[in-house]
Amino acid sequence: MSKFSKGYFTMKEADVLEYAKDVLNCFDFDAVLSCKEIGDGNLNYVFRIADEKSGKSIILKQAGPCARISEEFKVSPDRNRIESEILQLQYQLAEGFVPKVFKYDPIMNCCIMEDLSDHVIMRKALMEYKKFPLFADHITTFMARTLLLTSDVVMDHKAKKALVKNFINPELCEITEDLVYTEPFFDCSRNDVFSATREYAKRELWADETLLLETAKLKFEFMTNAQSLLHGDLHTGSIFIKEDSTKVIDPEFAFYGPAGYDVGNVIANLIFAYEHAEAALEDQQQKMDYKGWLEETIIQVMDLFVQKFMALWKEHGTERTSKYKGFDSYYLDNILRDTAAVAGCELCRRILGIAHVKDITSIENLEKRARAEKICLSIGKTFILQRGTLKSGRDFMDIVKNWEEKIK
């Protein structure tokens, strides 16, 4: 009996090598294997196993019993099952946009998947001012397909409810409920606030009762609206990219929630890249050019999502009421409203909460960082408060540009 079938333990590189030899049969018998832990996320351990002889490589991802970012977050390693299963489902719904899963091991709480080392993490690439002209097209196909095709508009309602049950994800949802919808909006001890931003947060967010009431509504919307099977954490660190390919990874926060959650995360994280470029680029021409590309991308993400969602609705809507005149626009309007609100919450929580984004924390000039943070907070607040009025990519960008003008 191998040590890997006796019970769960968190693996080190040497264990993973042994695991590859004893449990996996994907390498040649004379393979020369090496293994390196390459994870830099907040939660899991990611190992790359490579055969130096054949050049073949795979990824093993293991869920630990608590988050890497802080032991305070005890999260069941069962999240690895959720991740493996949703990746396989998304592979069917949006082939080409997620890595292929080869195996899930429920004892070691790990999964083996395609190595995407020829891609780069999108957040890092955006911070190096790289452009990806196909990104908006790719990500909107992924989102429109995974979000609409898992909803009651398309699925048999009992089959959809079975998926809701299978993807109940209480611990990871609790992290989002706390970190995205609650803690950034008061002076919570777990927050990590940059000192030059604190007064602004106090005045503009924490003391604004109108805003607090809206965040309460949004938190309950997140907890109760089982609309679509979400990725649940679709930021630019969850996207592997190269010029002609986009792969969405890390769907361990997946559950049935409001569809706008995924779209809003993509938009907010593109805005972080935009504010990074604004603060960090010295060359004005390069700044204008790169921000121009990001602006165009943000606009395309919103507008292509709308177009593709409507087209898929027409093609795949099976629910009788989906054919009623005007219901498609009503439904989409709600998603756009949620998109704006979620983008707003994400913009605030990555500035004030425990889990930051490098786009902002890497800004070396402290005055520029403070300005970028205030801009993000104000855009976030405006998105939340005006969420009913943002219908197009241009509407989103107008608010972004307006705050850049106002905050000097």
For ligand SR1, the binding residues (CB under 6 A) are 41-43, 67, 69, 73, 175-176, 179, 233, 355
* Tokens 């003008």 -> residue: 405
Residue 19 CA to chain centroid, in angstroms? 30
Measured from the CB atom, the residue of 124 and 131 that comes closer to ligand SR1 is 124
33 beta partners: 51
Measured from the CB atom, the residue of 43 and 277 that comes closer to Mg ion is 43
Question: What minimum distance in Å lies between the beta carbon of 42 and ligand SR1?
Answer: 4
Measured from the CB atom, the residue of 42 and 88 that comes closer to ligand SR1 is 42
Question: What minimum distance in Å lies between the beta carbon of 345 and ligand SR1?
Answer: 11
Q: Is 90 helix (H, G, I), strand (E, B) or coil?
A: helix
Question: What minimum distance in Å lies between the beta carbon of 253 and Mg ion?
Answer: 7
Question: What minimum distance in Å lies between the beta carbon of 372 and ligand SR1?
Answer: 19
Q: Which does 355 bind (CB under 5 to 8 A by kind): ligand SR1, Mg ion, none?
A: ligand SR1
Residue 274 to residues 25, 280, 290, Cα–Cα distance (Å): 45, 10, 8
Measured from the CB atom, the residue of 41 and 99 that comes closer to Mg ion is 41
Q: Which does 179 bind (CB under 5 to 8 A by kind): Mg ion, ligand SR1, none?
A: ligand SR1
Torsional sign, CA 286, 289, 291, 297 = negative
Residue 44 to residues 20, 62, 254, Cα–Cα distance (Å): 18, 6, 15
Q: Are 231 and 249 in contact (CB under 8 A)?
A: no
Please give the structure tokens belonging to residue 378. 């104000």
Q: Which stretch binds Mg ion (CB under 5 A): 249-257, 317-325, 331-339, 376-384?
A: 249-257
The total of other beta-carbon atoms located within 10 Å of residue 403's CB is 19
Question: What minimum distance in Å lies between the beta carbon of 143 and ligand SR1?
Answer: 17
Q: Which of residues 3-42 bind Mg ion (CB under 5 A)?
A: 41
Q: Which has the closest alpha carbon to 240: 318, 142, 174, 331?
A: 142
Q: Are 113 and 87 in contact (CB under 8 A)?
A: yes
**How many residues sit in the footprint of Mg ion (CB under 5 A)?**
2
Measured from the CB atom, the residue of 64 and 99 that comes closer to ligand SR1 is 64
Measured from the CB atom, the residue of 79 and 219 that comes closer to Mg ion is 79
Residue whose C-beta lies closest to ligand SR1: 42
The Cα–Cα gap between 372 and 394 comes to 21
Q: Is 102 helix (H, G, I), strand (E, B) or coil?
A: strand
Q: Which does 67 bind (CB under 5 to 8 A by kind): Mg ion, ligand SR1, none?
A: ligand SR1
According to the binding rule CB under 5 A, does residue 262 interact with Mg ion? no
Of 221, 250, 373, 404, which lies in the binding site for Mg ion, with binding defined by CB under 5 A?
250
* Tokens 């001890």 -> residue: 189
Binding residues for Mg ion, rule: CB under 5 A, are 41, 250
